[in-house]
A and B are shown apart, each in its own frame.
Chain A
Amino acid sequence: MKRKNDKAYKCKKCGRITYPERVVCLNCGNREFEIIPFTDECTLITYSQIFQLPWGINDRYLTIGVCKFDNGIKAMGRITTPEVKNGMRMKANWTLFREIAGEDVWGWVFEPLK
């Protein structure tokens, strides 16, 4: 299955950042975008340590959060430790982190900057 989570986009007309992809810019209705890169670092906006997890996940808990990359892209991802705080600087790693029905799934894994 093609996962559409590996690229972020910027509207060619108004500059609004879109992640993940969508067909039409939510801000101005334009349909043309340019691909923009993710930065290596980001800032943690919020997170939760989740104990009651869905079918298919065998961890005792997961920490999942939303980060804002330094160029403005915002994305959800897993966090390597629950010992974090809102506003903390994080390193963003694009990682193969799980398998769903035999399919390798890549996504964001954030860790506190040392």
Chain B
Amino acid sequence: MRNVAILGVGMTDFGRLEDDTLMDILSSASIHAIDDAGIDPKLIDLVYVANMGGGILNHRTAVASGLVDNIGLIPAAADTIENGPASGGSAIKNGVMAVASGYYDFVLVAGGEKMRDVSGWRATDFVATLTHPDAEYIYGITLPGMAGMFANLYMEKYGYTRRHLAEVAIKNHKNALMNPYAHVQMDIAMKGILDSPDSVVNNSPVAEPLHLFDSCPVSDGGAAIILCPEDRVKEFNKPVIRVAGFGQATDTLTLAERDDPTDLKAVTLACEQAYKRAGIKAKDIDFAELHDAFTILEIAEAEHAGLYKKGGYKKAIESGDNKITGSLPINPSGGLKSRGHPVGATGVAQAVEATWQLRGEAGDRQVKNARTALTLNFGGFGNNVVALVLRREK
């Protein structure tokens, strides 16, 4: 098996991209990645596109076929990967395996979503279609609702409060202020979202105990990377960012069937696989991009990834250890909470951010001495999870 590196990365702005179609978004992100790599597009022999909602939201299917046509990559092989909110991580994993195996050399992985074509009401329903159709969806459950039920138990079990959740939101909003691609560019404070009478209006409940500022926005956006054999990177005069390990694991579709609903087993298993393949331990991670679709998930994922013991993340929140200036920064990009969450793009955007950080190209939000990164892409409500370990090689 060959070592695989990320040669180029690119993103669109995340937010409400009114003038762009899904194909515009995927194309723009891909062109940015191709230009960043400095690669002749004719060398790209495989394309994976991560997208969850093209068919439902945009009346557009087979988007990988459309992308290679639109950006001149014919006759490259092209596949669309749909794995819910973990589509991006899944597409990268498949791209890594394609290069590692020797079947393909230069792989474009693009993720994109155009969610704001429909109302929030419709977008909420679209995401809810990933729940069990007969045992969950029929009741009107939403992903925020699943997260609310999870938070209810997790907070009770490990002693978290709404103040801890709010601190996560405040941190990620501050990080996003330094990310020009982020959807939500808004500084928030405890007074505005928790500690004043106005907070009742500013921070209305979404799914108790989670409120507006515990939740990611509904976003449009795209992200893309170019993968290649590590020994070809020197031809392009780029730093070597190796995909040192990946892991993927699944869990029961219904939350009710889990022995302990607070145990995100798939997160733990995916991370353990990724660490093992990378030959590292959790303590070797310098920073992480976690799937904080809700603030409670940043907490629970950090703990299930082995970065902190169960209940231990509250110390990082209280000490600021999880900030960009701390010893283990979490979501320096602003995370899903503030960078945004165009579902098919998210896993790829995490890898883009990690690459910028590992190259030292993250501007004001640069994590110092970053060499090893974890990205965690959380599908469903933890029933399909992809973890990647990226490392800058000397």
Contact = CB atoms under 8 A, between A and B. Distances in A.
- B is bound to A: yes
Given A51-B204, A55-B121, A66-B149, A3 B134 contact: yes
A66 B256 contact: yes
A48 interface: yes
Nearest to B255: A66
Interface in A43-96: 45-57, 59, 62, 64-66, 74-78, 82, 86
B134 A5 contact: yes
Contacts of A31: none
A51 B138 contact: no
Contacts of B141: 50, 64, 76
A10 B138 CA distance: 23
Contacts of B82: none
Contact of A47 (B122, B125, B152, B210): B152
Contacts of B145: 48, 50, 62, 64
B148 interface: yes
A90 B124 CA distance: 29
Interface in B317-361: none
A47 B146 CA distance: 9
Given A48-B208, A49-B207, A51-B206, A76 B124 contact: no
B124 A19 contact: no
Contact of A48 (B128, B152, B252, B256): B152
A69 to B, nearest CB: 11
B207 A50 contact: yes
Nearest to A74: B256
Given A52-B206, A53-B140, A86-B152, A76 B261 contact: no
Contacts of A46: 149-150, 152-153, 261
A24 interface: no
Interface in A5-44: 5, 18-20, 26
B138 A98 contact: yes
Contacts of B206: 50-52
Given A45-B153, A86-B152, A55 B138 contact: no
Contacts of A86: 152-153, 156
Nearest to A2: B134
Contacts of B142: 50, 52-54
B280 to A, nearest CB: 31
B205 interface: yes
A67 B120 CA distance: 29
A48 B122 contact: no
Given A19-B256, A20-B135, A64-B145, A57 B140 contact: yes
A76 B125 contact: no
A114 interface: no
A77 B138 CA distance: 9
A65 B138 contact: no
Contacts of B208: 48-50, 82
Contact of B148 (A18, A50, A75): A50
Given A50-B140, A52-B120, A98-B138, A66 B252 contact: no
A48 B207 contact: yes
Contacts of A64: 139-141, 145, 149
Contacts of B125: 54-56
Which of B120, B152, B153 has its CB near the most chain A CB atoms (within 10 A)?
A: B152
Contacts of A47: 149, 152
Nearest to B211: A51
A75 B204 CA distance: 28
B205 A51 contact: yes
B219 to A, nearest CB: 16
B225 to A, nearest CB: 32
9 nearest A-B residue pairs (beta carbon): A48-B148, A54-B125, A55-B125, A5-B134, A74-B256, A50-B145, A49-B208, A54-B124, A50-B207
Interface of B: 119-122, 124-125, 128, 132, 134-136, 138-142, 144-145, 148-153, 156, 204-210, 252, 254-257, 261
15 contacts: A3-B138, A18-B257, A20-B134, A26-B257, A46-B152, A48-B145, A49-B205, A55-B119, A59-B140, A64-B149, A66-B261, A76-B136, A76-B256, A78-B140, A105-B138
